[in-house]
Amino acid sequence: MKTMYRRAAVAVLGGALLCSTAACGSEPAEAELTPVAAVQRAADKNEKLTSMAYTMSGKVPGEGDVEAEASMSLKPLAMRMTMRMEVEGEREEMEIRLTSDGLYLNGGEEAAAEMDGKSWLKFPVGALAEKGGENPLGGMAGQADQNPAAEAGSLTAAEDLKKVGDETIDGVGTAHYSGTLPFDEVRAALAEKPAAARENTEKTLKRYEDMGVDKLTMDMWIDQDDRTKQFRVRGASDKGPLDLTIKFAGYNKPVEIKAPPAAEVADLEEMMKESAAG
């Protein structure tokens, strides 16, 4: 079960990453922008984003290879993700759903064998932290119910931010930007940001630091409508490499995500209450 919790944490992080970098809009881009202006424009347009579809692939420290496909609504907040990871030499797949009342993980037959035939486990997002208990998903669960749009401008803090060139991704023309972000530089740039943006960014940096990462290399591919077509984040740690690429397939399309049938769900909060009573 602990392995399932860790996999869910990776997925939520992935959702947090893409929220912080995706952008939407239909205004034509200027012929040429400075790297800082181009990245900031994409970050600003993220405020208008209401939903998206994306794929995620790469490596996560301590977890290994990961692949995922997801759809996400930001207004209201909801997410559905199918995720595949290699666990102890075996390829495993799981589904995650985030709704207004909780985070649901489908652990398949293994989970059903431990939970009286119920394959879904429900985490009441934020409830455990509010009660002072240990959250099995770690700090990432706290990000699941937030829109980290304010973090999208982090790449502008990179002193070496540059335009790498023009590239075509899935038939779409994009401008490729890249920069290196030591976390001390990101924190220094936060001084001029609103309090909410500072708090959200600090939470994200803390999650990377928990992985053993203290510096990120970020790459963004921005199309002519100032949308982020692709995003890549890399870092090194003693637990292994962080190297995630997120590719966006659609924006602002209707997304309907429902909780699993109640008969198939084991509620973690209720299980904890029963355990305490026992």
> Highest mean pLDDT: which of 49-53, 148-152, 168-172?
168-172
Containing 267, the helix (H) or strand (E) segment is strand 265-267
Specify the pairing of strand 102-106 against strand 90-99: antiparallel
Q: Give percent of the chain above pLDDT 90.
A: 23
- Which stretch of 33-37, 62-66, 237-241 has the lowest confidence by average pLDDT? 62-66
pLDDT of residue 188: 83
Q: Angle between the 195-210 and 2-21 helix axes, to the nearest 10 degrees?
A: 140
Is the pTM higher than 0.75? The answer reads: yes
Say whether pLDDT at 255 is over 50.
yes
- Which stretch of 94-108, 127-141, 219-233, 252-266 has the lowest confidence by average pLDDT? 127-141
At 118-155, the pLDDT tens digits run 999 998 765 544 444 444 444 333 344 443 334 556 78
Whether residue 183 contacts residue 208, with contact meaning beta carbons closer than 8 Å, is answered with yes
Choose among 115, 101, 125, 143: nearest CA to 12. Answer: 143
pLDDT of residue 243: 94
pLDDT of residue 57: 92
Q: What would the mean pLDDT of 24-39 be, rounded to a whole number? A: 66
pLDDT of residue 278: 66
Pick 63 or 87 by higher pLDDT. Answer: 63
pLDDT of residue 207: 80
Q: What would the mean pLDDT of 224-242 be, rounded to a whole number? A: 90
E runs forming strands in 28-89: 51-60, 64-74, 77-87
- Bond before 148 cis per omega within 30 degrees: no
pLDDT of residue 26: 39
pLDDT band (50, 70, 90) for residue 4? low
Cβ-based neighbours of 263, under 8 Å, separated by 6 or more: 118
Say whether pLDDT at 5 is over 70.
no
Whether residue 231 contacts residue 246, with contact meaning beta carbons closer than 8 Å, is answered with yes
Rounded distance between C-alpha atoms, residue 132 and residue 124, angstroms: 14
Containing 232, the helix (H) or strand (E) segment is strand 228-235
Q: What would the mean pLDDT of 163-175 be, rounded to a whole number? A: 95
Containing 9, the helix (H) or strand (E) segment is helix 2-21
3-state SS assignment for residue 162: strand
Cβ-based neighbours of 271, under 8 Å, separated by 6 or more: none
Domains and CATH numbers, the chain: 2-277 (2.50.20.20)
At 15-31, the pLDDT tens digits run 544 444 444 343 444 45
Cβ-based neighbours of 114, under 8 Å, separated by 6 or more: 1
Choose among 22, 6, 70, 62: nearest CA to 251. Answer: 22
Q: What is the CA radius of gyration of the chain?
A: 19
- Residue 127: phi and psi, rounded to 5, are -65, -40
- Residue 256: phi and psi, rounded to 5, are -120, 120
pLDDT of residue 134: 43
At 64-91, the pLDDT tens digits run 888 999 888 888 888 898 988 876 677 7
